[in-house]
């Protein structure tokens, strides 16, 4: 098993220990009868099959997702242009996976919100209407494609009701502790402001917005911002 995924490493140790046990037993009794060896394998196979899918190494993965975010930065947020701010940045990002796979597990339909203070902490709120299969897929893709949020959140991942409302100009999403509503920023002659060529694969089809509501209240932090940065974008990423 290759790569730097800690879960994959854990799975590799499980398989490695089982393989070593089989070899050791064969060496101990080189004349083991085929029938006895088959019995031994039968005892070991259930251990192999009990390893969760999310622990298996990802030979390859890919996903396409829609992002909606607001943060406390003035328009435009420099982070989206590859220039991380040195000021306090508080934000909430809605991630809706449209298509993708990891270990042949379908990722379509996964939705979650990541609320954060840049470089300090994050809370991840997973849509509680997702199926068991989608939750399994979420556990597999989170540390691979969203490792930054996973690292900051640690174990602060909860399943909660998630509501999303869309109109031609506005998007609103809400979980019990965070709410964001953004409106498209008006450009020349009232047209939307679209930016291409940003230096991140998560910032394709970037459309500038402005926050109407951006609030969070939890045991970690409490804020409310208005007329700060907001955006929508398309995330297209893959790895192996």
User: What pLDDT is recorded for position 28?
Assistant: 53
Please, are residues 11 and 49 in contact by the beta-carbon 8 Å criterion? no
pTM: 0.77
User: What pLDDT is recorded for position 189?
Assistant: 96
Tally of CB atoms within 10 A around 115: 25
CA distance 132 to 83: 38
Of 238, 240, 224, which Cα lies nearest the Cα of 64? 238
CA distance 25 to 21: 6
Phi/psi at 59 (nearest 5 deg)? Answer: -60, -40
User: What pLDDT is recorded for position 96?
Assistant: 98
CA atoms within 13 A on the CB side of 179: 9
User: What pLDDT is recorded for position 240?
Assistant: 86
pLDDT tens digit at each of 240 positions of the chain: 333 444 444 444 444 554 454 445 545 554 545 455 444 434 444 443 444 554 455 469 999 999 999 999 999 999 999 998 889 999 999 999 999 999 899 999 999 999 999 999 999 999 999 999 999 999 999 999 999 999 999 999 999 999 999 999 999 999 999 999 999 999 999 999 999 999 999 999 999 999 999 999 999 999 999 999 999 999 999 998
Residue 133's contacts (CB-CB under 8 Å, 6 or more residues apart) are 105, 106
Reduced 3-state DSSP string for 37-69: HHHHHHHHHHHHHCCCHHHCCCCCEEEEEEEEE
User: What pLDDT is recorded for position 33?
Assistant: 53
Please, are residues 74 and 88 in contact by the beta-carbon 8 Å criterion? no
User: What pLDDT is recorded for position 224?
Assistant: 98
Distances (CA, A) of 66 to 21, 95, 216: 46, 6, 22
Residue whose pair of structure tokens reads 């003035």 in the numeric block: 74
């Amino acid at each position: 098993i290759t790569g730097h995924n800690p879960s994959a490493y854990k799975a590799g140790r499980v398989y490695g220990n089982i393989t070593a046990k089989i070899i050791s037993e064969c060496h101990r009794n080189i004349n083991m009868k085929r029938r006895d060896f088959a019995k031994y394998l039968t005892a070991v196979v259930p251990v192999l099959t009990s390893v969760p899918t999310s622990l298996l190494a990802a030979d390859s993965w890919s996903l396409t997702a829609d992002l909606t975010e607001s943060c406390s930065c003035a328009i435009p947020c420099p982070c989206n242009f590859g220039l991380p701010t040195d000021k306090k940045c508080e934000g909430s990002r809605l991630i809706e996976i449209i298509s993708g796979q990891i270990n042949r597990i379908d990722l379509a339909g996964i939705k979650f919100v990541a609320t954060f203070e840049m470089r300090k902490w994050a809370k991840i709120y997973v849509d509680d209407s997702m199926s068991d299969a989608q939750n399994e897929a979420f556990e597999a893709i989170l540390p691979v494609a969203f490792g930054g949020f996973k690292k900051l959140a640690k174990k602060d991942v909860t399943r909660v009701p998630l509501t999303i409302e869309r109109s031609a100009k506005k998007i609103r999403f809400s979980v019990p502790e965070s709410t964001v509503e953004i409106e498209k920023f008006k450009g020349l002659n009232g047209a939307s402001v679209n930016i291409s060529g940003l230096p991140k694969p998560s910032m394709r089809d970037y459309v500038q917005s402005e926050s109407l509501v951006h609030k969070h209240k939890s045991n970690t932090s409490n804020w409310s911002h208005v007329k700060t940065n907001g955006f929508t974008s398309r995330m297209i990423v893959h790895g192996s």
